[in-house]
Structure 1
């Protein structure tokens, strides 16, 4: 059934929940490991944009902040630029970041749901694997991977 597929991924990081939250919500820092800056005031109901870091100001993804509970939970919609961005709208998926501290590490659970079909789920999975690997590397070493992982064939 369309719009019901989910991709979920869990990774563990040697960092703090506050640093993970900052890396997800700060435009400059998210741009360093993602190639796009995440731009919003991060209040529920606010718009957010996934803007290119090339200076063009182009947003390749847009959405609405559904939940914002720093530093443990962020939920947004995920949509094409110019399309409707509300939850439940056609073509709109939902992304949840769950950030759980455990002693000196963090469990980051990414859930991307309401995907239209298996091809969209596979594309999302490939992108998220690369982005989260780069996020983990940046937070644990102070620098992103030397080559953007999403450019690998």
Structure 2
């Protein structure tokens, strides 16, 4: 996996770009990003939406509470190659200046897939660092699930970072 976290965006706000290669098909990667049960298996949240442009999506806890920790809008949805979503904390839904954008680009090459995740329009460098660490953990778990049939045995986002 490659983290190119210093990539600037048009808005000059911090951005992180993460690239990983997965032994899978574009359709399986797409399903792993959009199927509520699959996202629950490796992300600890269910991504819930109908995945049509303009639709709402929610990143809902799997503890049965129904609480969404992230909400947003589907901007682009081109199964199985591209998904673009706007993200906000639930309390910031009415503040577009606080929204960030995540783009998933899924490109096949023979028997593997190159998945590029771009998280842009982050509010500051601290949020960029947190997003970079979060994507590394989530995408490692996604890769493990798709390649082995199981997520990692420990939640990778709970591993303490070396400081």
After superposition, where does 1:85-124 map in structure 2 within 5 Å? Answer: 89-124=96-131
For the residue of structure 1 that corresponds to 2:143, the secondary structure is helix
8 Å Cα contact 1:60-1:80 kept in structure 2: yes
User: TM-score when scaled to structure 2?
Assistant: 0.89
Structure 2: 5+ residue runs without aligned partners?
Answer: 1-7
Deviation of the 1:138 alpha carbon = 0.2
Q: Which residue of 2 aligns with 1:61?
A: 70
Deviation of the 1:3 alpha carbon = 6.3
Deviation of the 1:149 alpha carbon = 0.3
Structure 1: 5+ residue runs without aligned partners?
Answer: none
1:18 pairs, out of 22, 27, 35, with 27
Query: Alpha carbon RMSD of aligned pairs, Å?
Result: 1.5
Number of aligned residue pairs: 151
Q: Which residue of 2 aligns with 1:73?
A: 82
8 Å Cα contact 1:3-1:116 kept in structure 2: no
Deviation of the 1:85 alpha carbon = 6.4
The CA deviation string for residues 71-110 of structure 1, in whole angstroms up to 9 with x for no partner, is 0000000100132268xx1210000000000010000000
8 Å Cα contact 1:79-1:85 kept in structure 2: no
